[in-house]
Structure 1
C-alpha cells in the first residue's frame, strides 16, 4: 500500500472514489450523489491542488485508489490555528487492513509541519463506531455531539465533533 498526496492528475480516480463513497456511506458525507456528480471537473480538481490551506491524501493498492482523507485550513486569523479533516473514506474491500490509520498518520505528520497549526477537527456520524474508535486511538477527543446534524431521507443523524491537539500529540 502506498500513501501519498493526490494531485490534479489523480482526478479520474478521485472522482470515481468520491462518488462511490457517497453511495456506499451516505450518512458520512454532506453532499448527495446527485449534488457531487454535478460538481464541475475543474472544481473537483481544485480539491487536489495542495496548498498551505488544503491537501488530500490517497491510499493506493497497486495503482488503484482505495482511500482518501483531506485536510482543509481556513485562512481567517481567528481560526488559522485549526484545520478540518474531510472526505475520509476507504473502499469496503480495503477496510480493516490499517488503510485509514495509515492515511491519518500521513495527514497528522503533514499537519505537524504546518506553521501555527495546532489542532485538527473532524465530525463523525455517531452510527459509525469503527471510525469513532479509530479517531480516539489516534488521539482525537470528543468535543460534543451535534444533534440532527444531517437529514437523510427524512431521518436525522447526529455527528460527534472531535479534535486532536497537535502540540500535545
Structure 2
C-alpha cells in the first residue's frame, strides 16, 4: 500500500517511490513496529487493507511534548467511506496516551482541500505555511503545517 500511495499521490509524501521500492519486508517491519510511543494504524475493508496512518512522538528531548502524524493514506476505491476520519481518530487517540504530549502536528499538501478540511474539522489549525515544500517531477507544492492541542498533555 505504501508504494501504491507514493505512486498515486507523490505530492502527498516527503518520501518517494524511488527511495522506498527497494525496501525489504524486514525493512518495513522494522519501520512500522511500535517504538517510542509511536504506532501505525490500518483500516480494512472487504478483507484488504484500505488505509493507513502513523503517529509518533518527536524524538528530540526539547520536542518530546509533540507528536507527529505521518503517512496518512486511503486507497482510491475506499475513499468517501469515513476511513480517513477513523484513522485520524485512532492516531489522535494514541497520541493522547503518550505521557506529556501537548499537541499533535501534521503537514499536508496545501492544495489537498479534502485533507485540509478533514483535519480542520477534527480541530487542527494551520500554524504555518511552507512554500515550495516538495518538488515532484519538477512541480513545486506548498504545505500547510497544522496542529491540534491536546488538553491533558
Normalised TM-score (structure 2) = 0.94
Q: Distance in 2 between matches of 1:139 and 1:54?
A: 21
Pair 1:147-2:147 in alignment: no
Q: Which runs of 5+ in 2 are unaligned?
A: none
* Residues 47 and 56, structure 1, Cα contact 8 Å, conserved in 2: no
1:7 corresponds to = none
2:42 corresponds to = 58
What RMSD, in angstroms, separates the aligned Cα atoms of the two structures? Answer: 1.5
1:36 corresponds to = 20
Aligned residue pairs: how many?
Answer: 153
SS at match of 2:44: strand
* Residues 143 and 163, structure 1, Cα contact 8 Å, conserved in 2: yes
Pair 1:112-2:82 in alignment: no
Q: Distance in 2 between matches of 1:31 and 1:77?
A: 25
Shift of 1:108: 1.0
Q: Distance in 1 between matches of 2:91 and 2:134?
A: 26
Pair 1:101-2:85 in alignment: yes
SS at match of 1:78: helix
Bigger drift between 136-145 and 70-79 goes to: 70-79
SS at match of 1:31: coil
Shift of 1:62: 3.6
Shift of 1:139: 0.4
Q: Distance in 1 between matches of 2:23 and 2:57?
A: 21
| CA shift digits 1:113-156 (9 cap, x unpaired) | 11101111100001200000000000000011100100111111
1:129 corresponds to = 113
Superposed structure 1 runs of 4+ greater than 3 Å apart? none
SS at match of 1:47: helix
Q: Distance in 1 between matches of 2:27 and 2:64?
A: 23
Q: Distance in 1 between matches of 2:50 and 2:88?
A: 14
| Aligned counterpart for 2:69 among listed residues 73, 77, 85 | 85
Q: Distance in 2 between matches of 1:126 and 1:92?
A: 19
Q: Distance in 2 between matches of 1:94 and 1:141?
A: 26
Normalised TM-score (structure 1) = 0.85
